[in-house]
Structure formats: C-alpha cells, structure tokens
Amino acid sequence: MLHLATVADDEPGAPIEAKAPRSAAKPGPYDARELSRKAVASWGLISPHLYDRRGFAHEDIRRLGPDFKGYDPSRQRPDGWPRVVGLHGPSSYDANGNTGAWVCTGYESGGARGDDVVALLVFLSGGASRRVCAEWLSDLLDRLVVVKVA
C-alpha cells in the first residue's frame, strides 16, 4: 500500500500533514439503497472492477473477505471460490425498495441472489461484512467521474 503526503505552503515553513490511512469501516450508518442506485446507474463502468470475464472476483474484492488467500496464477483455483455465472441484474427497478436486486443462474454459483449491489459484493468477497463492502463500493463510486454532455 502506498501512502503519499502532499505539502502545501499556506504559511511559510508550516506544511500540511496528510490524513492517516483508514484501517476500519466508517462509523455511522450507510445507505445501501443510495449506493445501489449509484452503482446501477454506472454498472457498465464499475462491473469490470468487481469481477473478471469468467466471473471470478478480483483480488481487491476477495481481500475484503475473512478467508482471503492470494491467487497463484501457476496453480488451479480452489473449488468453492465465489463466481458470478449467469448474472441477471442488478435490476434498475425499485421493487419493494430494493434497487439492484440480482440472481446468478449458473450451476457454479449455487443460485446465489441478493437484494442490492452490496449483497453482490458480500457474495464475491466470500462473506465480508455488509459495512465493509458498502464502504468499498462507496469509495469506488466516489472515484467515478461522470461527465454529462449536452
């Protein structure tokens, strides 16, 4: 992990200190409904950051889970890794207050389903807490820049 500090000279000889890196989830509530709405609106841009073309979660997502083990490309993936196969969703319809509902119909995913995009991250991470997954998704969406052309 790389930590950078920027120095600005507001007052001569008084540099501004960088913020300490976050190691735990943010305290306070998160709005999974709003996160799902933002994620669904930009799904084509964020889905490549979640899983690869074969449906396996990227290492950034798997690292959120409790049983993270690094992937060695010279070996076969172990059985039981979460995989998105036959993904239907996330839904853009607000059915029962759940924007982003999804279901995997592939045999390898075991019929996994969820009510929002945060639940998809929980599935892909292998069981991370919803708060940690919501924070990761929020950080990803904050880095996204949407430019609307008239």
pTM: 0.73
Question: What would the 3-class secondary structure string for 21-32 be?
Answer: CCCCCCCCCCCH
113 within a domain of the structure (yes/no) = yes
Is 138 within a domain? yes
Taking only the tens place, the pLDDT of each residue in 15-63 is 545 444 444 555 667 788 888 888 888 888 888 888 888 888 888 888 8
User: What is the pLDDT at residue 19?
Assistant: 44
Q: pLDDT tens digit string along 75-112?
A: 877 777 788 888 887 877 666 666 778 888 876 677 88
Residue 135: predicted pLDDT? 92
Give me the domain span that covers residue 111: 32-143
Chain mean position to CA 139: 8
Q: Does some domain include residue 92?
A: yes
At residue 59, the 3 state secondary structure works out as helix
- Predicted pLDDT at 101: 80
In a domain, 10, yes or no: no
How many separate domains does the chain show? Answer: 1
Residue 17 lies inside a defined structural domain of this protein: no
